Amino acid sequence: MSDFLSNFVNNDDDNEKKKDSKEREGSEQAEKQPAAKSRKKAEKEQVEFDPTYKKRKQKKVFLISFVGILAVVALFVAYYQFTHVKVPAFQGQEIAKAREWSVEEGILLNIKNTYNFELATNKIVKQDIAAGAKIKKGKTLKLTVSLGPDPDEQVILPEFDAMTAKQAKSWVKKEKAENVSVIEQYEEKVAKGMFIKQEAANKELNLKNYKRKDRLIVYYSKGKETFEKNIEVPDFSNKTLTEVNEWVRKNEVKLVTEKVFSQSIALDSVVSQQTAAGTKIAKQEELKVQISKGKPLVVPNYANYTLEEARELSGKISAVLKSTYSETIPFGHFISQNIAAGTELDEKDNPPTIEVVYSEGRPYIKDLRKNTLEGDLPKLFFETYSSKGANITYDVYYLDSDQPKGTVVEMSSYGEYLPLNANLTIGISLGNIQPAEDSPATADEPKEEEQPEEAD
């Protein structure tokens, strides 16, 4: 518009200039005429005025004033536009968006937080200047921002055990119970989608007083986990247990091992596998393999050895050799061993000591008269009979005798084999009779006897 007015004013000036130019040209032509003629015309000439000049002058002043006013208005509008911005509709938007806008436009923000069930955290609830209105740069826009639902608000929990996982998730979403987690896990014994259990982070929390801020986990079943049988079992022959474990870990298979002895397979290597090589199995399926414990310690058959031969055996297996009386097994022959012959023992497991029993034959009672004291009897009967399994007991009585006091002088049995259970009576001298000097030996005096060898 200013260009149009400028053109209009310029056109008027051009017209004035053209008219003045014509007048100057006429004057110049008049001056060229003869002087006489000029004098005559000068006498007749009179001064004339342009009747349109005043109007044109007024019009020019008006136009200049009008253009000036328009310029001032334009400057004011431009200044207002430059110093003011339009406020967007922030309600329901993220506070981050308002912060970004305020930085770009030079607007200060006054933010007030409040709990609000309808709007999520960091969403703008309201603004003090309506959307679309103008605000001057540098001024403050007041915003109310949501903190989400009130965490101290008490919430009535539903009966989760009567709900499915889908229903529980719907309730959590509807009630905006962000601290209630619905977790689905595989469970063979519970049908898919059904309740398993619920656990509060605070074990002492009474769920009747549950508040929105309290942590609660509700578990639901995903049913039995099934996997596709797409894992091919390799040949583990002579592979180490470490290699098997690495394969099992990589393919998420359950390993079941059985330790066995092997004369040929190295320690901790595979002896055999129950699932054949090339078979396809699924994740979490069991893979059973036998792992070598190395060469075993084999318990010998002591029945093949005499007591003396058994004492000479050497090796990593220790044995305690015992002897006991027997009415049926001849002296020196094998009776028993507490660990069966051929049993395989692991050297690393601290093999137990083997108890081997050999026969002492039948118990034999020697003649103890005049050469044994009463005080020697307990030890003699224990070491000779009781410790070797024979229940041979004795009773003593005392009698007058010329033998030293305490000497055995009479026995109910001597110089013969006894049953495993027997009782003897033994007479002990009181030593109260003076012995006769140089008395000849009588036929009743005991003679030294030897224990006869028992036939095999």
**The token pair that represents 211 in the structure block:** 């508040």
Question: Are both 87-146 and 297-359 of the same fold?
Answer: yes
Least confident piece of the model among 218-222, 423-427, 441-445: 441-445
Q: Tell me the average pLDDT across 176-201.
A: 91
Q: Where does 297-359 sit in CATH, by number?
A: 3.30.10
Give the DSSP H/E element, type plus range, for residue 255.
Answer: strand 254-260
- pLDDT for res 221: 93
**The token pair that represents 183 in the structure block:** 């977790």
Residue 364 CA: distances (Å) to CA of 65, 377, 391, 392? 159, 15, 12, 10
Predicted confidence (pLDDT) at residue 158 exceeds the cutoff of 90: yes
Residue pair 253/284 in contact by the 8 Å Cβ criterion? yes
Distance, CA of 271 to CA of 259 (rounded, Å)? 9
CA 22 to the chain's CA centroid: 109
pLDDT band at 45 (very low <50, low <70, confident <90, very high): low
Distance, CA of 319 to CA of 293 (rounded, Å)? 23
- pLDDT for res 27: 52
pTM over 0.75: no
Predicted confidence (pLDDT) at residue 46 exceeds the cutoff of 50: yes
With both helix axes pointing from N to C terminus, report the angle between 2-32 and 53-83 in degrees, rounded to the nearest 10.
150
Distance, CA of 360 to CA of 380 (rounded, Å)? 16
Predicted confidence (pLDDT) at residue 364 exceeds the cutoff of 90: yes
pLDDT band at 142 (very low <50, low <70, confident <90, very high): very high
Predicted confidence (pLDDT) at residue 444 exceeds the cutoff of 60: no
More confident residue, 453 or 97: 97
Least confident piece of the model among 251-255, 307-311, 440-444: 440-444
Q: What is the CA radius of gyration of the chain?
A: 64
**Which distant-in-sequence residues (6+ apart) come within 8 Å of 45 by Cβ?**
none
Q: Tell me the average pLDDT across 117-131.
A: 90
Q: Tell me the average pLDDT across 429-453.
A: 62
pLDDT band at 388 (very low <50, low <70, confident <90, very high): very high
Distance, CA of 351 to CA of 166 (rounded, Å)? 60
Give the DSSP H/E element, type plus range, for residue 11.
Answer: helix 2-32
Q: Where does 87-146 sit in CATH, by number?
A: 3.30.10.20
Name which CATH class applies to 364-429. Answer: alpha beta
Predicted confidence (pLDDT) at residue 23 exceeds the cutoff of 70: no
- pLDDT for res 264: 87
H and E: helices and strands count for the chain = 8, 23
- pLDDT for res 49: 59
Q: Which residue in 291, 312, 284 sits closest to 237, CA to CA?
A: 291
Name which CATH class applies to 231-292. Answer: alpha beta
Least confident piece of the model among 134-138, 180-184, 286-290, 382-386: 134-138
- pLDDT for res 6: 47
Q: Tell me the average pLDDT across 389-401.
A: 95
User: DSSP E strands: which ranges in 17-164?
Assistant: 84-86, 108-114, 124-127, 134-136, 140-146
pLDDT digits (tens, 9 = 90+) for 307-352: 888 888 867 788 889 999 999 999 989 999 999 998 888 877 788 8
Buried b (16+ CB within 10 A) or exposed e, 146-164: bbbbeeeeebebeebeebb
In sequence order, what are the beta bridge partners of 305? none
Q: Tell me the average pLDDT across 294-301.
A: 87
User: DSSP E strands: which ranges in 29-118?
Assistant: 84-86, 108-114
Given the structure tokens 């970004």, which residue do they identify?
Answer: 100
Rounded to the nearest integer, the mean pLDDT of the chain is 83
pLDDT digits (tens, 9 = 90+) for 207-225: 889 999 999 999 999 988 8
- pLDDT for res 238: 86
Distance, CA of 340 to CA of 299 (rounded, Å)? 7
Q: Which CATH number among 1.20.120, 1.20.58, 3.30.10, 3.40.1000 corresponds to the domain 160-221? A: 3.30.10
**Which distant-in-sequence residues (6+ apart) come within 8 Å of 41 by Cβ?**
30
- pLDDT for res 21: 56
**The token pair that represents 436 in the structure block:** 């006769």
- pLDDT for res 196: 92
**Which distant-in-sequence residues (6+ apart) come within 8 Å of 15 by Cβ?**
none
- The domains of the chain are located at 2-33+49-83, 87-146, 160-221, 231-292, 297-359, 364-429
**The token pair that represents 82 in the structure block:** 């430059």
